Structure 1
Amino acid sequence: MTSAAGNIAIAIVTYNRSTFLKELLASAAAMDTPPFRIVVVDNASTDDTQDVIAAATTDFADGVLVNHRLATNTGGSGGFSEGTRVALELGADWVWLMDDDVEILPDAIEQFAPWMQRFQVIHGRRYDFDGTPFYWQAKFNEFLGVPLPYSGKQFGREGYAITNSGTFEGMLIHADVVRVIGLPDPRFFISWDDAAYAWLAAQHTDVVYVDAFVLKRKREQKQVNLGIRHLNDGSPLFRFHVIRNRAYVGKYFAEHGKLNRFGFGLGTALTLAKEVFRLLVVQHTLKGLGDLVRGFRANRALWRDDTWRPMDPADVPAPLTPGTGTGTGGPS
């Protein structure tokens, strides 16, 4: 789509969930205003994902659906990094990042449009899999280095809330911001990547959560309603990375002079306690404790890695200039 706000590319990361992907692509084809490009990053799926993408190609104008298959599974972090890079190479002014287990509401772009005139990092609202509004009110507490639910009404009189955290289940980000902070960091693999990426953006621009429904979550999960937030179940990969990746978050905080070592250590202890609580209350087991222990050991090793550097904005594709390319895309 080309508008006053520019070209919007949707970047979808998928891995072995072809049924969800098929439904998501069908919802994208039914959008009132079609996107400029849809970049599907296939994280080396072993199911019929490639067949689903091929079949969906006919639902879009020529070149709109871009099939970007990776040789190995790079996790959500690697997939979103690649999806953002490809979208910018094709000439996108905005990248709308999303997992494969959501559905796009038909008027999503129309809902975003007025906010795109004011802000450069935007999160719209989501319905949960049961049709109720999904609860999300995350904001980084910088002393602890963890996103915490904030109290009070989510949205002010103008219909938005300023935050400094984010989610790749629907983050809309302007290419200019990516060129300042770099691509999403693929080293996270999964967990903390989206929260940290929005936090990085918030060091340079306003990150907002707007009172406009744009997505519906499709995957049902075990969860416990705690009133101020919901706790979903977690996989062994998640448990490992949610502890390991605290080191990456801390290194980014330190890079921007925001790391309080005592507070951040306390935040890590609280994160560990939350994951034990999740095992007990949501999954009714303690079998995942080993994943958390392994994650903590990897966390300490990363803290000791003196070679670590943040993502380099110089690696972000430069804006297209007139006459340099068509931006039509295609299989890559």
Structure 2
Amino acid sequence: MVAYNRRALLGEALAALAAQTRPVDRLIVVDNASEDGSAEFAEERLADWGERARLIRLSENTGGAGGFAVGVAAAVADPRTDWVWVMDDDTVPGPEALAGALAAHARYRETGPDNLAVMGSRVVWTDGEDHPMNTPKAKIGAGRAERERAAAVGAMEIRSISFVSAFLRAARVRELGLPIADYFLWNDDFEFSARLLRGARGLYVPGSVVTHKTRIRGSSDQDPGPRFYYEVRNKLWVFRFSRALRWWESLLYQAASARRWARTMRASADRAQLRDCLRRGWRDGLRTRPRANARVLAGAGVPADALDVVERLDGAPRA
């Protein structure tokens, strides 16, 4: 779990994890240099977990991308880890969220090869309706056998998933590397999950439900403000450098991104700001490339075991 300046929501999320019907084996909270006492609060709450819990306090805000890179690195450092469940501190899992995902995996294993790399929960808002920011689409080009196998276990075949309750296969992470910390915000989960899923299988599991407690029930393209810079720059980085997408997938996503950016501009109350974000994001997306995780996270207080994984996996075929 990555936390940053949302102490009250962090308390809800931790309480919900403690109440899982299938207990969590281990819990790692990565605090991104919060300024509201979140780290101290987490430390108090994690005392009840004993040796099953760990708090990583970073000395600087590395963004969601950096926080997840550190947390996933710390998780896969343990060779016993099979699945890594990731989420933000505004994600409140239902009591059956973990059990539902693992049950789907168990049923999937019974129907064929155990080639799952990613699973994703059903994400709802506080009104119980699907959250448009985190509702995945069915995998384009999935064969009939793929679709039927997923449907047989009450799931849907996917090509990517958000980090709002995603289950990542540790062996696949060790093979293909970590989330790219230099993304800071946005599209890090898209690139990473698509990378893990290229040549593997992923499931959207409606039987695993979490609540994403955002301020409003809307998609991320609803007037994103200054964060639009990261949307533009990072999408260009995906298209230019990532191995996550096949060439035809990249073309489809490029067209979809262009339409989404145009829709975002039309709906914005501050088009001048978004035009500036578009200009700067386009410039940096074309002139730069993501730096190695070890370089981005240097000096951020990453613990030695996680940093060792970061350095070893920097050479993985991520981009």
Query: What TM-score does the superposition give when structure 2 sets the normalisation length?
Result: 0.78
d(CA) in 1 for partners of 2:37, 2:310: 35
Classify the secondary structure of the residue corresponding to 1:210.
strand
Mark the CA change 1:276 to 1:39 in structure 2 (over 3 Å): closer, same or farther: same
Alignment of 1:51 onto 2:40: yes
> 1:137 is matched with which residue?
136
The alpha-carbon distance between structure 1 residues 260 and 194, as it changes in their structure 2 partners (threshold 3 A), is closer
**CA offset at residue 179 of structure 1?**
1.4
Q: 1:22 aligns with which of 11, 25, 28?
A: 11
Distance 1:97 1:237 in 2: 25
Residue in 2 aligned with 1:85?
73
d(CA) in 2 for partners of 1:254, 1:48: 39
Supply the AA of the counterpart residue of 1:190. Answer: L
Percent pairwise identity: 26
One-letter amino acid of the structure 1 residue matched with residue 232 of structure 2: I
Residue 181 of structure 1, CA deviation: 1.4
Whether 2:95 is the aligned partner of 1:109: answer no
Q: Which residue of the other structure, out of 254, 265, 277, is the alignment partner of 1:276?
A: 265
2:159 is aligned, of 157, 161, 164, to 164
Q: CA deviation at 1:53?
A: 0.8
Cα displacement (A) at 1:275: 2.5
- Tell me which of 2, 11, 21 is aligned to 1:32: 21
2:52 aligns with: 64
For residues 111-153 of structure 1, what are the alpha-carbon distances to aligned partners after superposition, in whole Å with 9 as ceiling and x for unaligned?
A: 11222233331112122122223341335769xxxxxxxxxxx
Secondary structure, in 3 states, of the residue corresponding to 1:36? coil
* Change in CA separation of 1:51 and 1:211 when aligned onto 2, cut-off 3 Å: same
Equivalent position to 1:176, from 171, 177, 201: 171
- Residue 124 of structure 1 aligns with an amino acid whose one-letter code is S
Whose strand fraction is larger, Structure 1's or Structure 2's? 1
Aligned equivalents of 1:156, 1:140: Cα separation in 2 = 13
8 Å Cα contact 1:179-1:314 kept in structure 2: no
Q: Does 1:293 align with 2:275?
A: no
- Residues 300 and 264 (structure 1 numbering): CA distance in 2 closer, same or farther, change over 3 Å? farther
Q: What's 1:151 paired with?
A: none
* Structural RMSD (CA): 3.1
Residue 67 of structure 1 and its aligned partner are, at CA, apart by 0.6
Change (3 A) 1:256 1:123: closer
Does the aligned pair in 1 maintain the 2:121–2:204 contact within 8 Å? Answer: yes
Residue 50 of structure 1: how far off its partner (Å): 1.7
Equivalent position amino acid for 1:50 in 2: A
Of 206, 211, 219, the match for 1:211: 206
Letter in 2 for 1:273: A
Alignment partner of 1:138: what SS?
coil
Amino acid across the alignment from 1:138: K
Partner of 2:189: 194
Question: Are the aligned partners of 2:65 and 2:180 in contact in 1 as well (CA < 8 Å)?
Answer: yes
CA deviations on 1:156-181 (whole Å, 9 max, x unpaired) are: 35411111111100110111110121
Q: Measure how far apart 1:308 and its partner are.
A: 6.8
TM-score (norm. length: structure 1)? 0.75
Name stretches of at least 5 consecutive residues in structure 1 with no aligned partner.
1-11, 143-154, 224-229, 318-332
Preserved CA contact (<8 Å) 1:24 1:101: yes
Instruction: Please name the residue that 1:125 is paired with.
Output: 122
Give the Cα–Cα distance (whole angstroms) in 2 for the partners of residues 133 and 256 of structure 1: 26
Q: Give the distance between the partners of 1:314 and 1:285, measured in 2 at CA.
A: 41
Matched letter for residue 245 of structure 1: N
Which of 235, 247, 252 is the equivalent residue of 2:236? 247
> Whose helix proportion is higher, 1 or 2?
2
Q: Distance in 2 between matches of 1:28 and 1:183?
A: 24
Partner of 1:328 in structure 2?
none
Pairs aligned (count): 282
Asked whether 1:75 is paired with 2:75, we answer no
Equivalent residue letter for 1:293: R
Mapped partners of 2:104, 2:177: distance in 1: 23
1:176-231 Cα deviation digits (max 9, x unpaired) = 110121111112111111111111112131011122133111222263xxxxxx56
